[in-house]
Chains A and B, each alone.
Chain A
Amino acid sequence: MIAPVLWKRFRRSRLATFALYYVGFMALIAALAPLFPLDPNAIDLHHRLQSPDRAHVLGTDDLGRDILARMMHGARVSLTVGFLATLISVIVGSFLGAIAGYYGRVADWIVSRLIEVVLCFPFLFLVLGIVALFRPSLITIMIALGLTSWTNEARYVRGEFLRIRDMEFAQAARASGARDARIIFRHLLPNAIAPVIVSASFGVAWAILVESALSFLGLGVPLPTASWGSMLSDAKNTIDYAWWLVLFPGLAIFTTVAAFNVIGERFRDALDPRSD
């Protein structure tokens, strides 16, 4: 397996290793959010719009809700959407890419036309339309994202399949009488999955960005569930003085997205035989 080598090469970049730890830290925060003593949805009109102090480390919003508590719960939304939406697009993309690459001809032609069609739609239009018209919820968002962002995975897997489908190990499997499904999923797919790691890392970053954009536009996870995007949307109304409402949720989105992008970038370099 290539995994240990890949990991060793990955760790050569200190920035990427740090990004990985940062993502782990975020996941921990998301997991532990319910243990935080302050309720993210507790309204306290006596303490509204308080700048960061000892009682509310990151301040409170216009309804007196604790920003830190809301951000911790927002991490749950962002990471859940990020990972599950990417999982959907990896599954859909790998499947279609595998079929196209393995069978070629008609199957390849159909999948290629499908990719062309999907790529024509401005991404946000499609996702926004699906989410809004089918009622916004965590599930709708993940499905909308997953079904519209599989094209990269499909292209990579298709390319890998074209490269390896006639290699000796595949021929050996075929000669020993293995059925197509077994050859595709047991023999070929594990060897074609490496580039998918790269696009999946970028995919998580992308999904987090789009989810927060949807929530910002009021079409994300339904209120009052805290999400980084909807927190920024709330901040719009008090933009003239409540700087902490703008700064912290935005920083959370930015750093998390950047971390996943750094990780994806590093995976790409680590998998590229031309680099170091």
Chain B
Amino acid sequence: MGAYLVRRFLYAILTFFGITVATFTLIHSVPGDPISFYIGNANRATIPKATLEAIRHEYHLDEPLPAQYLYWLRGAVTFDFGRSVLDRRPVTERILEKLPNTFQLNAIAFALAALLGIPIGLWSATRSGRPAERASAVFFFLLYSLPSFWVALLLMQLFAVKLGILPLFGMTSDNYLDLSTAEQLADRLRHLVLPVLTLMYAQLAIFVRFSKSALTEVIRQDFITTARAKGAREVKVLWHHALRNALIPLITLLGLTIPYLISGSVIVEQIFQWDGAGLLYYDAILSRDYPTVMALTVVTALFTLFASVVADVLYAFADPRVRLGEAAQ
């Protein structure tokens, strides 16, 4: 177990370096003078040559690329990604103030998808092949193919325009500050509904599918047949024997769905003008704010890495085959 964990962490560190190298290489292969990383879209001709040289020297642009990478990496490991070319504020500060908004959206969507999806998936596995189950399978399959931005527009059209019961976009109403605390909470919740729905439904489809196949897989195994053969009631077989084993593979979903959620938040936050990290990334891309782009790319990749390490560790604890199998080698 110990050896397994150590190896997993070493690989994670290696992957982290891979992530930084990939990000750095990608951004630095964009055509153009890298000095624009620091002066943004300001007109170069209006800046004195000496100033440009000073900037080059200050940010080590006069040194070879590998050295530049190491300077950037030194900052990155301490979460110092330099300053935004837009407002000169530290990039880390800009990201930290947006992350809670994105986290709120993603956490609610993830929790709802899991709470609804897992029971539906388990139900499907026990009712496999019956008309109701087949209908729900088709439904969730179609859900998976729906483009989220289209769903967002349809939801907006129905709930905000036609019915007028939910706000079109934003995180709070214009008169938010005049509301009482209870009203403020209600206002925030009302603004959450459509973005959460848009972010959630694809996750829901994944959870249903995954938990269904996990339970189906377990039911096929010998120890379930044994449990049935010794006369255990079906309910007990499912709850006691099958379920705990079926839930273990779901841990991997933690690492698998996080990148999709984060990807989805770019679209959802852009449509609903949700003031989070996804919207920040979108704006940074459009304004070529390279330090912010690089920082967010690394930070979101780190989140995924962290989630997959957590998932692997949990898996090792939950499934003795993983840790014992490793120990035997």
B147 lies within 8 A of chain A by Cβ: yes
Q: How far is the CA of A116 from the CA of B21 in the complex (A)?
A: 13
Q: How far is the CA of A119 from the CA of B18 in the complex (A)?
A: 11
A243 lies within 8 A of chain B by Cβ: yes
Residue in contact with B153 in the complex, picked from A118, A130, A232, CB distance below 8 Å: A232
Residue in contact with A219 in the complex, picked from B14, B285, B293, B296, CB distance below 8 Å: B285
Which residues of B have CB within 8 Å of A217? 266-267, 270, 282
Q: Which residue of A lies closest to B12 (CB)?
A: A116
List A219-276 residues whose CB lies under 8 Å from chain B: 219, 229, 232, 235-236, 239-240, 243, 246, 249-250, 253-254, 257-258, 261-262, 265
Shortest Cβ distance from B209 into chain A, in angstroms? Answer: 11
Q: How far is the CA of A253 from the CA of B153 in the complex (A)?
A: 14
B192 lies within 8 A of chain A by Cβ: no
Shortest Cβ distance from B263 into chain A, in angstroms? Answer: 4
Seed contacts A122-B301, A129-B26, A253-B147; 14 additional CB < 8 Å A-B pairs: A120-B19, A121-B297, A125-B281, A125-B296, A126-B26, A128-B266, A129-B27, A134-B31, A217-B267, A253-B150, A257-B147, A258-B141, A261-B141, A265-B141
Chain B, interface size: which category?
35 or more
List B290-318 residues whose CB lies under 8 Å from chain A: 293, 296-297, 300-302, 304-305, 308
Q: Is the CB of A132 within 8 A of B285?
A: yes
Residue in contact with B30 in the complex, picked from A120, A121, A134, CB distance below 8 Å: A134
B259 lies within 8 A of chain A by Cβ: yes
A181 lies within 8 A of chain B by Cβ: no
Shortest Cβ distance from A10 into chain B, in angstroms? Answer: 17
Shortest Cβ distance from A24 into chain B, in angstroms? Answer: 18
Q: How far is the CA of A235 from the CA of B264 in the complex (A)?
A: 20
A32 lies within 8 A of chain B by Cβ: no
Q: Is the CB of B149 within 8 A of A261?
A: no
A residues near B (Cβ < 8 Å) are 113-114, 116-126, 128-130, 132-134, 205, 209, 212-213, 216-217, 219, 229, 232, 235-236, 239-240, 243, 246, 249-250, 253-254, 257-258, 261-262, 265
Which residues of A have CB within 8 Å of B258? 122
Given contacts A114-B18, A130-B26, contact A250 B304 (CB under 8 A): no
Shortest Cβ distance from B102 into chain A, in angstroms? Answer: 11
Which residues of A have CB within 8 Å of B271? 236
Q: Is the CB of A121 within 8 A of B19?
A: yes
Q: Is the CB of B262 within 8 A of A250?
A: no
Given contacts A134-B30, A265-B141, contact A122 B300 (CB under 8 A): yes
Q: How far is the CA of A133 from the CA of B22 in the complex (A)?
A: 15
Q: How far is the CA of A258 from the CA of B147 in the complex (A)?
A: 10
B54 lies within 8 A of chain A by Cβ: no
Given contacts A119-B304, A121-B300, A133-B30, contact A261 B150 (CB under 8 A): no
Q: Is the CB of A250 within 8 A of B153?
A: yes
Q: List 30 A-B contacts (CB under 8 A).
A: A114-B18, A119-B308, A121-B301, A122-B262, A123-B260, A123-B263, A124-B264, A125-B263, A125-B266, A125-B296, A125-B297, A126-B26, A126-B297, A129-B27, A132-B286, A133-B27, A133-B285, A134-B30, A134-B31, A205-B145, A212-B149, A213-B267, A236-B271, A240-B161, A246-B150, A246-B154, A254-B147, A258-B141, A261-B141, A265-B141
Which residues of B have CB within 8 Å of A205? 145
Q: Which residue of A lies closest to B270 (CB)?
A: A217
Q: Which residue of B lies closest to A240 (CB)?
A: B161
